[in-house]
């Protein structure tokens, strides 16, 4: 099937640089996606955007260039609950990728087992209105109850503004819960202001919560952008990620978010995005936890 890309869509950066930062051995890119290709794995009818194809071969080549050894591939909303592109990528990765799927309430145990076999270790609940019409909470709780016995976790994606509303629901989830992109703080607000303190409180009071300290390119308002060799990109986002890395060193993950869906302003050079990690995790010990120990504990516990 041929798909027309959403007007204004920015394709991923064609020639990423090799990072200056050398990643620790065994580093995991814990948040990235595959899109299509649409003629093999069609985009979902209910999608809110149509991306350009970003196939597994490109992802694996990027992994090697950047110095990662493994990927966690997260089901993107443009594929809805059709996990075929994700499963295909996982099955092609020689054990070097795990996945986070999207499932519906009527998913069967056999289907869950097949996803587990392919390398899926979690499901994603998305509440961002420009991306999805979120299912009702009782539907999601039913899914949570179904996946919990598999030892899977739940990845949640929401806007900072919505945290209050979902607080009771999120904190009643029965599994480890991983928050995408730091709960999308407005980085023009203070890092110790009301909005981000609420997120810190969530992490402090609920030890089953983890946070991805990813997506500075999405959250930044003032840059500078990860382009043209910039070694100090997205300085306005650094204090937020730095705070999480310092306060919750065992419950943070980092991912590139390649191929960066829905960016409007610019497309980052992924090599420079890796160099950004030196700003939020300046010590080798912090990077070891962020990039190796934490994702391995969550996604490859059998190797621990």
Ligand X SMILES: O=C(O)c1cc(C(=O)O)oc(=O)c1
Q: What gap in Å lies between CA 220 and CA 266, rounded to an integer?
A: 11
Enter the tokens of residue 228. 């043209």
Closest approach of ligand X to the CB of residue 77, in Å: 3
Closest approach of ligand X to the CB of residue 263, in Å: 8
Q: How far apart are the first and last CA of the chain?
A: 43
From residue 57 to residue 96, the character string flagging contacts with ligand X as x (rule: CB under 6 A) and all else as - is -------------------xxx------------------
- Verify binding: residue 180, ligand X, rule CB under 6 A: yes
- Please count the residues of this chain forming the interface with ligand X, following the rule CB under 6 A: 9
From residue 125 to residue 164, the character string flagging contacts with ligand X as x (rule: CB under 6 A) and all else as - is ------x---------------------------------
From residue 213 to residue 252, the character string flagging contacts with ligand X as x (rule: CB under 6 A) and all else as - is -----x----------------------------------
The DSSP string of the chain is ---PPPTTPPPPPSSPPPPSSPPPTT-EEEEE--B--TTTSPPPTT-S-----B-HHHHHHHHHHHT-SEEEEE--GGGTT--HHHHHHHHTTTT-EEEEE---TT--HHHHHHHHHHTEEEEEEE--TTT--PPPHHHHHHHHHHHGGGT-EEEEE--GGGHHHHHHHHHT-SS-EEEGGGG---TTS-TTSHHHHHHHHHHHH-TTEEEE---HHHH-SS---S-TT-SSTTTTTHHHHHHHHHH-TTSEE----TT-TT--S----HHHHHHHHHHHS-SHHHHHIIIIIHHHHHH-GGG-
By beta-carbon proximity to ligand X, the closer residue of 48 and 242 is 48
Closest approach of ligand X to the CB of residue 2, in Å: 21
Q: What gap in Å lies between CA 216 and CA 209, rounded to an integer?
A: 20
By beta-carbon proximity to ligand X, the closer residue of 100 and 286 is 100
By beta-carbon proximity to ligand X, the closer residue of 90 and 286 is 90
Per CB under 6 A, the list member of 242, 262, 266, 278 interacting with ligand X is: 262
- Verify binding: residue 257, ligand X, rule CB under 6 A: yes
Q: Identify residues 99-128 at the interface with ligand X (CB under 6 A).
A: none
Residue 61 CB: number of other CB atoms within 10 A? 11
Question: What are φ and ψ of residue 122, in 5° steps?
Answer: -170, 170
By beta-carbon proximity to ligand X, the closer residue of 51 and 271 is 51
Enter the tokens of residue 140. 């999601």
Closest approach of ligand X to the CB of residue 78, in Å: 6
- Tell me which of 29, 180, 257, 269 is the catalytic residue: 257
By beta-carbon proximity to ligand X, the closer residue of 288 and 298 is 298
Whether 265 sits among the annotated catalytic residues: the reply is no
Closest approach of ligand X to the CB of residue 284, in Å: 28
Per CB under 6 A, the list member of 99, 261, 268, 295 interacting with ligand X is: 261
Closest approach of ligand X to the CB of residue 219, in Å: 10
- Verify binding: residue 52, ligand X, rule CB under 6 A: no
Binding-site ranges for ligand X (CB under 6 A): 76-78, 131, 180, 218, 257, 261-262
Looking at the annotation, which residues are catalytic?
257
């Amino acid at each position: 099937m041929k798909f027309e890309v959403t007007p204004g869509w920015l394709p991923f950066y064609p020639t990423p640089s090799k990072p200056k930062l050398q990643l620790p051995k065994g580093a995991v890119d814990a948040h990235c996606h595959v899109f299509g290709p649409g003629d093999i794995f069609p985009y979902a009818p209910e999608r809110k955007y149509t991306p350009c194809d970003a196939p597994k071969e490109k992802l694996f080549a990027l992994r090697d260039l950047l110095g990662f050894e493994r990927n966690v591939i997260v089901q993107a909303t443009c594929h809805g609950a059709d996990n075929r592109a994700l499963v295909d990528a996982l099955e092609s990765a020689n054990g070097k990728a795990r996945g986070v799927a999207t499932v519906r309430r009527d998913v069967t145990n056999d289907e869950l087992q097949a996803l587990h076999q392919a390398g899926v270790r979690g499901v994603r609940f998305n509440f961002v209105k420009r991306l999805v019409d979120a299912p009702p909470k009782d539907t999601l709780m039913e899914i949570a109850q179904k996946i919990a016995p598999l030892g899977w976790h739940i990845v949640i994606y929401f806007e900072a503004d919505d945290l209050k509303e979902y607080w009771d629901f999120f904190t009643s989830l029965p599994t480890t819960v991983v928050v995408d992109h730091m709960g999308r703080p407005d980085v023009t607000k203070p890092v110790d202001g009301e909005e981000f303190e609420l997120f810190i409180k969530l992490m402090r009071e609920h030890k089953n919560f983890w946070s991805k300290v990813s997506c500075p390119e999405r959250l930044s308002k003032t840059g500078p952008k990860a382009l043209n060799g910039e070694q100090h990109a997205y300085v306005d986002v650094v204090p937020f990620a730095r705070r999480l890395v310092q306060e919750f060193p065992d419950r943070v993950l980092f991912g590139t978010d390649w191929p960066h869906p829905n960016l409007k302003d610019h497309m980052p050079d992924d090599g420079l995005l890796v160099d950004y990690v030196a700003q939020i995790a300046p010590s080798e010990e912090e990077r070891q936890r962020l990039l190796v120990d934490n994702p391995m504990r969550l996604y490859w516990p059998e190797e621990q």
